[in-house]
Amino acid sequence: MLEVSHISKAFGGVRASRDVSLAVPEGKITSLIGPNGAGKTTLFAQITGFLKPDSGSIRFLGQDITGTAPEEIAARGMIRTFQVVQPFAGQTVRENIAVGAHLRIRSRREALAKAEEVAIEVGLGDRLDMDAASLTVAGRKRLEVARALATDPKLILFDEVLAGLNPSEIRDVIPVILALKERGITILLIEHVMQAVMSLSEYTWVLNQGALIAEGVPKDVVSDPQVIEAYLGKGMAERIAQRAKSNG
């Protein structure tokens, strides 16, 4: 569904993406993980048209979309969420979700009806007429999911949709994301919550300092020495292995 080929991006002397290639299969939940500052959100921004890569190409549903404007990419069926959820000020939850629905629905009445349907699906049905700004962090995360879903996407890129949630809230949101897959929506997510990556993702790529350092099934990737060192520091993989050996 999505093919990223040899993407590179630099800001001055900082190389945010270094020859990154990945392919997202249709109908799956995949993930992009890595330590803070690895370049994950920058890669998402390039894929969805918010930044233009310096080199490389991006194909969505077989068509080259490299450098295409975000609104056109959204119209084609790829939508993203953002780490920091910012509801439209002074609008209700219903009205916020309707903004997403208007990508494909011109009628205001129909867009509001679509918003209600989506709100119920993501667990916001009882908060439709609340001021969106009054939602808790967990509520705002659901709102971000709802706005994306209201666009009728084929592929959603979730950027840390579970960040800031407590374990109970994470457990509540995971079934919502799984239900999107059951509807046939493909998902690529950036996530730091490893519980979610292990529960949701069927395949993962690991980014560090702008470059891919590992990929595969999550349970295998998290034990990769390069991945351990990227997260925990140089020498940690060897120390963990020695500790496991001595405890064995």
**127-135: Cβ within 8 A, 24+ apart:** 127/93, 128/92, 128/93, 128/94, 129/92, 129/93, 129/94, 130/92, 130/93, 131/90, 131/91, 131/92, 132/87, 132/88, 132/91, 132/92, 132/93, 132/95, 132/96, 133/87, 133/89, 133/90, 135/87, 135/93
Segment 67-79, tens digit of pLDDT: 999 999 999 999 9
| Model pTM score | 0.90
- 76-108: pLDDT as tens digits: 999 999 988 889 889 999 999 999 999 999 999
What pLDDT score was predicted for residue 211? 96
Give me the residue spans of the domains in the chain: 2-247
What is the pLDDT of the chain when averaged over all its residues?
Answer: 91
Task: Quote the pLDDT of residue 240.
Answer: 46
* Pairing between β-strand 14-24 and β-strand 186-190 as defined by DSSP bridges: unpaired
pLDDT at 237 over 80: no
What pLDDT, in 10s, does the model give residues 205-235? 999 999 999 999 998 998 888 888 887 676 5
What pLDDT was estimated at residue 163?
Answer: 87
Token digits for 97?
A: 């979700």
Is the pLDDT score of 57 beyond 60? yes
Concatenated DSSP letters for 65-132? Answer: -TT--HHHHHHHTEEE--SS--PPTT-BHHHHHHHHHTTT---HHHHHHHHHHHHHHTT-GGGTTSBG
- The 3-state DSSP class for residue 5 equals strand
Q: Residue for token digits 């999911």? A: 145
> Mind listing the pLDDT tens digit for each residue in 148-195?
999 999 999 999 999 889 989 999 999 999 999 999 999 999 988 887
Contacts within 8 Å (CB) and 24+ apart, 70-78: 73/48, 73/49, 74/48, 74/103, 74/151, 74/153, 75/103, 77/152, 77/153, 77/154, 77/155, 78/2, 78/47, 78/48, 78/153, 78/154, 78/155, 78/156, 78/157
What's the average model confidence in pLDDT over 12-37? 94
CATH class of 2-247: alpha beta
